[in-house]
């Protein structure tokens, strides 16, 4: 499920960065091992 932030000023930079990092980590965690290896992520 996607979440939309209508006003970026509603979040402070560290909080926004934390949310973006968490989203990134969730996407990477869901990638197949083969894809992680192709992207040079440690498995």
Q: What is the per-residue pLDDT across 17-30, written as a single tens digit (0 to 9) for each?
A: 998 899 889 999 99
35 touches 27 (CB < 8 A): no
Rounded to 5°, angle at Cα 38 from 37 and 41: 45
Q: Which residues contact 6 (CB under 8 A, 6 or more apart)?
A: none
Task: Answer whether 0.85 is exceeded by the pTM.
Answer: no
Give the confidence band of 3 by pLDDT, cuts at 50, 70, 90: confident
Q: Tokens 């990477």 map to which residue?
A: 28
Q: How far is CA 17 from the centre of its chain?
A: 9
């Amino acid at each position: 499920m996607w979440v939309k932030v209508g006003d970026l000023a509603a979040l402070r930079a560290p909080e926004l960065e934390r949310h973006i990092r968490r989203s990134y980590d969730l996407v990477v965690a869901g990638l197949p091992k083969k894809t992680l290896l192709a992207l040079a992520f440690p498995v």
